[in-house]
Structures are given as structure tokens and as C-alpha cells.
């Protein structure tokens, strides 16, 4: 499974002015560094938690549907449907799914009918549930399923939960002061409520 960024966030969850106020920096000489620290802090937290903070476009490519959705029913048509159940995406909260396409036997991607599945808005991780009993089987062994979707808390800084914004500010402050990447453990109290429960 691969995850590719297709549309980057339009803004950062924390503005340059907010970060400079946190750092008590009034000059402009360090603006590029502070901006880079904001982006780095966001990316680290997103990767750690499996979230997108600001609305971001992604493409996930899968070899097959999740194993727990497979059935033991034999299939004579290689593009016939034979698996069912929800798809869990790598990023959330899910805003929407723009397309799901499955490769046929000639490796040509065929778009699935959007009426055959439902995206669960705000789910984290993102979830897509089939309306039909099954998903179509990819006709190729590798990268035969493409899912294009948007995830994030919303389009603007104000949509991002305050603890995540505070965690970014703290990582920026630590990185600015020490000129190195601080460990995420320094912001764990802000991240803990957003971690996925593990069963």
C-alpha cells in the first residue's frame, strides 16, 4: 500500500505570526526557518497520528482489499466481486472520496460507481463502506486499487483542534531554541487524545 499526496494543504495549522509570537521574535531574518519548522512539526504529528490537519488530497494504492474482507467463494470472472467490508484509509478525519478505481485484466483502471459505496465523514481512520455485498477484484497483482480522497479537520487554521495547534507551537519553539528536531514525547499530553485506540 502506498500513500501519495495529491493536493497539499492550502495553509498551515499555525501561522507564521502565531509562531513568532510564541517565540517572541519580532524580526524577519528567521521567517524562512520558522516556516520550515511549522511545516516539519505538522508533518511529524500527522505521520505519528495518521491524521491530516488541514484539508489535504491523497491517493492510496492497494494491491488487494483488506484480508478480513475476503470470502472463500470461488470466482470464475477475474473482475467479479468477491470481497466485502469496510476499507480503512491511512489518513483521517475523512472529508470525502473523489474516486475509487480498480484495474481490470488489461491493467486499465475502471472507476467504481460512487453509489456502490459510502464514505463515513469525519471517520479516523477514514472508512469507506460498500453498499453492495462485495468489492470488485483487481485484475492485476500489484497496485490494482486506487482510492482518491480528501482528509483533514477542515480548510483553515481554526478547524484544527487546539491541542494539535499547541503541539505544533511547542515543537517549533523547541526546534528553534535547540536547532534540532525535538522528540515527540515533549508534546505527548497534546497528542494522546488523538491517538487511535489499539485493541
Specify if 199 maps to a domain: no
Specify if 1 maps to a domain: no
* Domain count within the chain: 2
pLDDT recorded at residue 69 = 41
The domain of 48 spans 7-53+155-194
pLDDT recorded at residue 181 = 76
Q: What is the DSSP string of 123-164?
A: -SS-EEEESSS-EEPPSSSSS-EEEEEEESSBSSGGGS-HHH
pLDDT recorded at residue 97 = 96
Specify if 2 maps to a domain: no
> Does 99 lie in the same domain as 15?
no
Specify if 144 maps to a domain: yes
> Does 143 lie in the same domain as 66?
yes
pLDDT recorded at residue 71 = 43
> Does 61 lie in the same domain as 42?
no
pLDDT recorded at residue 48 = 94
> Does 132 lie in the same domain as 66?
yes
Specify if 98 maps to a domain: yes
pLDDT recorded at residue 67 = 60
Specify if 14 maps to a domain: yes
> Can you give the pTM of this predicted structure?
0.85
pLDDT recorded at residue 133 = 66
pLDDT along the chain (199 residues), means of 10: 95 97 94 96 95 97 72 46 73 95 94 92 86 83 95 96 96 89 83 73
> Does 67 lie in the same domain as 124?
yes
> Does 60 lie in the same domain as 128?
yes
> Does 131 lie in the same domain as 110?
yes
pLDDT recorded at residue 197 = 56
Nearest to 57 by CA among 137, 144, 146: 146
pLDDT recorded at residue 86 = 84
Residues 172-188 as b or e (16 or more Cβ within 10 Å = b): bbbbbeeeeebebeebe
State the cell numbers at 53.
490537519
Backbone dihedral angles phi then psi of residue 109, each to the nearest 5 degrees: -80, 130
| Residue in this structure with the C-alpha cell 474516486, named with its chain if needed | 99
Which residues share a beta bridge with 81? 136
| Residue in this structure with the C-alpha cell 525535538, named with its chain if needed | 182
User: Which CATH number is 47's domain given?
Assistant: 1.10.3230.30
Amino acid at each position: 500500500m502506498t500513500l501519495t499526496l495529491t493536493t497539499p494543504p492550502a495553509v498551515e495549522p499555525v501561522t507564521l505570526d502565531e509562531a513568532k509570537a510564541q517565540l517572541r521574535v519580532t524580526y524577519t531574518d528567521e521567517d524562512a526557518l520558522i516556516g520550515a519548522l511549522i511545516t516539519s512539526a505538522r508533518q511529524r504529528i500527522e505521520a505519528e497520528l495518521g491524521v491530516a490537519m488541514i484539508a489535504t488530497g491523497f491517493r492510496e494504492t492497494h494491491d488487494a482489499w483488506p484480508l478480513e474482507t475476503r470470502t472463500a467463494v470461488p470466482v470464475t470472472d477475474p473482475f467479479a466481486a468477491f470481497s466485502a467490508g469496510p476499507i480503512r484509509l491511512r489518513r483521517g478525519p475523512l472529508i470525502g472520496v473523489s474516486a475509487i478505481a480498480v484495474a481490470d485484466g488489461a491493467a486499465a483502471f475502471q472507476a467504481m460507481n460512487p453509489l456502490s459505496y459510502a464514505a463515513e465523514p469525519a471517520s479516523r481512520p477514514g472508512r469507506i463502506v460498500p453498499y453492495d455485498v462485495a468489492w470488485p477484484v483487481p485484475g492485476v497483482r500489484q497496485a490494482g486499487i486506487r482510492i482518491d480522497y480528501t482528509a483533514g479537520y477542515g480548510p483553515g487554521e481554526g478547524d484544527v483542534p487546539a491541542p494539535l495547534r499547541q503541539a505544533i507551537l511547542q515543537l517549533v519553539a523547541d526546534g528553534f531554541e535547540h536547532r534540532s528536531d525535538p522528540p515527540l514525547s515533549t508534546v505527548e499530553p497534546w497528542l494522546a487524545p488523538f491517538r487511535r485506540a489499539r485493541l
